[in-house]
């Protein structure tokens, strides 16, 4: 069992937690819950990209993960700046 | 395999455990603020242990710096986001009460 096998198993585990987290995005019940689930999805995606580097041998994925982590704050800040009365 | 790579694998598996715990908390906990609590643990500790495990595998200096930077950015985003969501929920000025 080599290192990339273990990384592949870790990547599959992370993918399954991501897909379970999608249920929370679907059922809500509040928009905050959906956003929190999406944030967990983003973080798991970053972890997934980092372990996939050794599995599929694409070292540039670390830069993709870097961009993901930079953009992670933007969605939450944009969501929380929104107010109900501004939507009319 | 060397002891260092065993330690790296242990760190990665511990990180995955925190991600699983965060997902279970997100699904099972009863209200919004406790779900927020479960989520930030998964973000910070889970990704931190994952990055630590990958660092122990010896990816070179530049990749190591990038890994640590990724973790720091996620830390900043998750802490800021948790405070913003919690403040919005407590103030009740979002659309959550409809």
ipTM over 0.90: no
Query: pLDDT confidence of A12, banded at 50, 70, 90?
Result: very high
Residues of A in contact with B35 (CB under 8 A): 33, 36
First-residue to last-residue Cα distance in chain B:
57
**In this complex, is the C-beta atom of A37 within 8 Å of any C-beta atom belonging to chain B?**
yes
With contact defined as beta carbons under 8 Å apart, do A52 and A7 qualify? Answer: yes
**Cα B75 to Cα A29: distance, rounded to the nearest angstrom:** 26
- The pLDDT tens digits for B40-62 are 887 889 899 999 998 888 778 88
Residues of B in contact with A36 (CB under 8 A): 26, 32, 35-36, 39, 85
- The pLDDT tens digits for B14-37 are 999 999 988 888 888 888 888 888
């Amino acid at each position: 069992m080599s290192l990339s096998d273990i990384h592949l198993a870790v990547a599959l585990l992370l993918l399954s937690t991501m897909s379970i987290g999608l249920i929370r995005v679907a059922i809500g019940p509040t928009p905050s819950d959906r956003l929190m689930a999406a944030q967990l999805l983003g973080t798991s995606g970053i972890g997934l990209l980092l372990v996939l580097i050794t599995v599929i041998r694409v070292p540039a994925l670390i830069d993709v993960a870097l961009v993901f982590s930079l953009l992670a704050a933007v969605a939450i800040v944009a969501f929380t700046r929104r107010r109900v009365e501004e939507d009319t | 395999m060397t002891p260092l790579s065993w330690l790296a694998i242990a760190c990665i598996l511990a990180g995955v455990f925190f991600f699983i715990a965060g997902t279970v908390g997100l699904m099972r906990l009863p209200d919004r603020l406790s779900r927020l609590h479960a989520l930030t643990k998964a973000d910070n500790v889970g990704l931190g242990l994952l990055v630590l495990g990958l660092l122990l595998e010896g990816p070179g200096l530049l990749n190591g710096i990038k890994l640590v930077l990724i973790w720091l950015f996620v830390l900043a985003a998750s802490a800021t986001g948790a405070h913003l969501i919690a403040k919005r929920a407590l103030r009740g000025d979002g659309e959550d009460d409809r």
